[in-house]
């Protein structure tokens, strides 16, 4: 659990778990160039953080993404408790996208009820339509997301959706069709809750590379270019699900290379 402020907005990184993956599998298309990035790997593996972000803005309590869930022994609920927040205090749950490592704690497995009992759940419309149309839909969609409709807790959103005066969504497709970023603006400061638009520090250095988890390469690259220009123009803080723990930091440039610098 790590807390920072952006103007009047509180951003709390909640780490569900950390897991390593073979870099050659994650970057199958560019595996021959991974030797340039051994400083960003651990024994040939990419180390992924799995973070959610709690936002306190304009009197609202918003949880962005809900981690892997109980099957993965994730710690999200402990992290939330460490931040001093009860699940029933969360008013809005927003999924940046509908992959299972972002929806895992959405429902209580035993009761089938929303784990965040008083929350509306904001779901990107294009992801909802994309995964619902698959036969069969992904297990995590059927388990975590589809029930929200009949439970009456689901709100589909797309485009620029204002959550509160300081919080606006952006459609940032590529990793998935409906992927969303949350832009925080308060007292002249900005932050971007990027979801999986950039998965690893390698994506920051090489924004044209794609991972095996990305849905479509062309929009991945367009989205990253757009985000980089906005983030660099405003020197914004970045909160990203899988960048190194706690997932809070900045994109910086030095010696011709763009890199990730985590908050101290």
Asked if residue 196 binds Zn ion (CB under 5 A), the reply is: yes
DSSP 160-226: S-EEETTEEEEE--SSSTT-EEEEEEETTEEEEEEETSS-SHHHHH-TT---TT-S-HHHHHHHHHH
DSSP letter for 100, please: T
Look-up: residue for tokens 């029933």? 88
Helix or strand run (H / E) with residue 249: strand 248-254
Smallest gap from residue 242 Cβ to Zn ion (A): 6
Smallest gap from residue 199 Cβ to Zn ion (A): 7
Stretch that binds Zn ion, among 146-154, 189-197, 220-228, 248-256 (CB under 5 A): 189-197
Smallest gap from residue 222 Cβ to Zn ion (A): 19
Q: Which is nearer to Zn ion, 127 or 196 (CB)?
A: 196
Ramachandran sector of residue 138 (left: φ over 0; alpha: ψ -120 to 50; beta: rest) = beta
Q: How many residues bind Zn ion (CB under 5 A)?
A: 2
SS3 66: coil
Smallest gap from residue 106 Cβ to Zn ion (A): 14
How far apart CA 167 and CA 227 sit, in angstroms, is 16
Smallest gap from residue 151 Cβ to Zn ion (A): 24
Q: Which is nearer to Zn ion, 144 or 196 (CB)?
A: 196
Asked if residue 101 binds Zn ion (CB under 5 A), the reply is: yes
Asked if residue 16 binds Zn ion (CB under 5 A), the reply is: no
Stretch that binds Zn ion, among 13-21, 37-45, 97-105, 181-189 (CB under 5 A): 97-105
Stretch that binds Zn ion, among 51-59, 76-84, 113-121, 195-203 (CB under 5 A): 195-203
Smallest gap from residue 48 Cβ to Zn ion (A): 8
Kindly report whether the peptide bond that precedes residue 156 is cis, defined as omega within 30 degrees of 0. Answer: no
CA distances in angstroms from 10 to 54, 85, 105, listed in the order given: 8, 13, 22
Length of the chain: 264
Smallest gap from residue 212 Cβ to Zn ion (A): 12
Q: Which is nearer to Zn ion, 174 or 186 (CB)?
A: 174
Stretch that binds Zn ion, among 31-39, 106-114, 190-198, 228-236 (CB under 5 A): 190-198
Q: Which is nearer to Zn ion, 166 or 260 (CB)?
A: 260
Contacts (CB under 5 A) with Zn ion, residues 222-261? none
Asked if residue 65 binds Zn ion (CB under 5 A), the reply is: no
Q: What is the dihedral of CA 132, 135, 139, 140, to 10 degrees?
A: -20
Closest by Cα among 14, 23, 106, 117 to 56: 14
Is 49 within 8 Å of 244 (Cβ atoms)? yes
Q: Which is nearer to Zn ion, 16 or 101 (CB)?
A: 101
Smallest gap from residue 99 Cβ to Zn ion (A): 5
Task: Kindly list the residues in this chain that would bind Zn ion in the complex (CB under 5 A).
Answer: 101, 196
């Amino acid at each position: 659990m790590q807390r920072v402020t952006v103007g009047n907005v509180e951003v709390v990184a909640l780490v569900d778990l950390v897991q390593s993956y073979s870099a050659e599998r994650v970057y199958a298309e560019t595996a021959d160039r991974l030797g340039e990035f051994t400083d960003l790997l651990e024994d040939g593996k990419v180390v992924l953080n799995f973070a959610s972000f709690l936002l306190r803005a304009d009197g609202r309590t918003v949880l962005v993404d809900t981690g892997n869930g109980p099957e993965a022994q994730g710690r999200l609920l402990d992290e939330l408790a460490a931040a001093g927040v009860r699940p029933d205090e969360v008013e809005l749950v927003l999924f940046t996208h509908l992959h299972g490592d972002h929806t895992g704690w959405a429902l209580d497995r035993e009761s089938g009820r929303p784990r965040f009992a008083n929350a509306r759940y904001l779901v990107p419309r294009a992801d909802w339509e994309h995964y619902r149309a698959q036969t069969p839909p992904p297990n995590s969609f059927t388990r975590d997301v589809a029930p929200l409709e009949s439970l009456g807790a689901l709100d589909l959103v797309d485009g620029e959706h204002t959550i509160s005066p300081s919080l606006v969504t952006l459609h940032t497709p590529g990793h998935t069709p409906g992927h969303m970023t949350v832009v925080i603006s308060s007292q002249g400061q900005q932050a971007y809750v990027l979801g999986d638009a950039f998965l690893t520090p390698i994506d920051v250095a090489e924004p044209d590379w794609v991972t095996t988890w990305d849905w479509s390469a062309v929009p991945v690259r367009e989205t990253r270019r757009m985000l980089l220009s906005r983030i660099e123009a405003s020197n914004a803080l970045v909160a990203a699900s899988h960048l190194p723990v706690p997932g809070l930091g900045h994109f910086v440039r030095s010696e011709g290379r763009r890199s990730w610098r985590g908050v101290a």
